[in-house]
Homo-oligomer: A and B are copies of this chain.
Amino acid sequence: MKYSKEQLVKMYEQLQLSRIFEEKLIELVAEGSLPGFYHLAIGQEAVQIGAVSAMDDDDYLVPTHRSHPAVVNRLELDKFFCELLGRYDGYNQGKGWEHVSSVERKVLPASGDLGVGAPLAVGYAWALKMDKKDSVVVCLCGDGASSEGNVHEAMNIAALFKLPIVFLIENNKWAISTPFSKQTAVDKLSKRAAGYGMKGVTIDGNDVLTVRATMDEAIAKARKGEPSVVEAVTYRWKGHFEGDPATYRNADDQKEVEEAMKNCPIKKFKAMLLQENVMTPEDMEAVDKNILQKIEDAIVEARKSPLPTEKQTVDYDAVYATNLGGDLV
């Protein structure tokens, strides 16, 4: 085994934090506590955990709207819950919500517009290179978003200027109601990379160790100025957001969902850990319990935080860094 026991246990924790966190979101949505839309990555956790576990603390993450697994593992739970609940003590005063960001935690914001994250990430990576920093940017991108022009422009420029970035395309086979087959005629999105003179690979995104190993290598190369594209293939189990009944999925699609659920990345990883005696069922239970407790504590904590007041909302210092006065008419 390429990874130490410690590393493997860490990955287990990260996977379970992702899953249990999102299961909690489902509860909160059901009870009406969470405003807005929540895009769950349940069943896709191996992709993002493979990636974040491969990242150094000094590496940056550019998430999308479906990046709870990556983000929850980089942020402090209570401040993240505050943010999702729209509270003032959240990372972004409750103004960020699913677009949460934290410079300290090296989580950059997810734009509301698909595809924008790619050039944003490229810009950040370029700045890091200018400053001769050793950090890499990992840019998440959906299969659907990869059709956006911004992604093309970003990839071309990243390859041209040899920037420290990995484009991780999380191909979950769906973009809202649109299956992958209706987004593009190419079979593997990683083939785009060759068009920019970059390396590109397509891997099984449901195997966390495959993702981890691929990302280890891609990040190491990126650190040396060799950007690349990694397409991790997985499947979106649920609707587009929690509450979406996904009625656009036909019988064949439903079968795919069932297949995907059988192929649960966490179940698979668990089985491996047990078989290889990395963890016992009791170890796992302890980890899970601990995570659940932390999540529940964090929610209690978050709920104590107030919503932003009118004054905190209409705050021109939060709009302008160089506030030149008035409402900048």
* Minimum C-beta distance from A277 to chain B (A): 44
Question: Would A160 and B182 count as touching, CB distance under 8 A?
Answer: yes
When distances are taken between beta carbons in the complex, the residues of chain B under 8 Å from A195 are 186, 189, 191-195
Stretch of A57-65, A144-152, A206-214 with 4 or more beta carbons under 8 angstroms from chain B: A144-152
When distances are taken between beta carbons in the complex, the residues of chain B under 8 Å from A183 are 160
Which of A191, A195, A196, A198: most chain B CB closer than 10 A?
A195
Copies of this protein in the complex? 2
Known contacts A184-B156, A185-B196, A195-B191, A149 near B147 by CB under 8 Å:
no
Q: Quick one: which of B159, B184, B189 contacts A185, CB cutoff 8 A?
A: B159
When distances are taken between beta carbons in the complex, the residues of chain B under 8 Å from A159 are 184-186
Report if A36 contacts B (CB, 8 A).
no
Interface residue ranges of A160-184 to B (CB < 8 Å): 160, 162, 182-184
Known contacts A149-B149, A182-B160, A194 near B197 by CB under 8 Å:
no
Q: Quick one: which of B149, B185, B187, B191 contacts A152, CB cutoff 8 A?
A: B149
Report if A153 contacts B (CB, 8 A).
yes
Question: Would A187 and B197 count as touching, CB distance under 8 A?
Answer: yes
Question: Would B160 and A149 count as touching, CB distance under 8 A?
Answer: no
* Minimum C-beta distance from A183 to chain B (A): 7
Q: Quick one: which of B147, B150, B152, B197 contacts A186, CB cutoff 8 A?
A: B197
Q: Give the distance in Å from the alpha carbon of A189 to the alpha carbon of B156 in the complex.
A: 11
Which of A157, A160, A189: most chain B CB closer than 10 A?
A160
Q: Give the distance in Å from the alpha carbon of A150 to the alpha carbon of B153 in the complex.
A: 9
Residue of B nearest to A198 (CB): B185
Residue of B nearest to A227 (CB): B185
Q: Give the distance in Å from the alpha carbon of A150 to the alpha carbon of B182 in the complex.
A: 19
Question: Would B147 and A153 count as touching, CB distance under 8 A?
Answer: yes
* Minimum C-beta distance from A3 to chain B (A): 33
7 A-B pairs in the complex with CB atoms less than 8 angstroms apart:
A148-B149, A160-B183, A184-B196, A185-B196, A186-B196, A187-B197, A189-B195
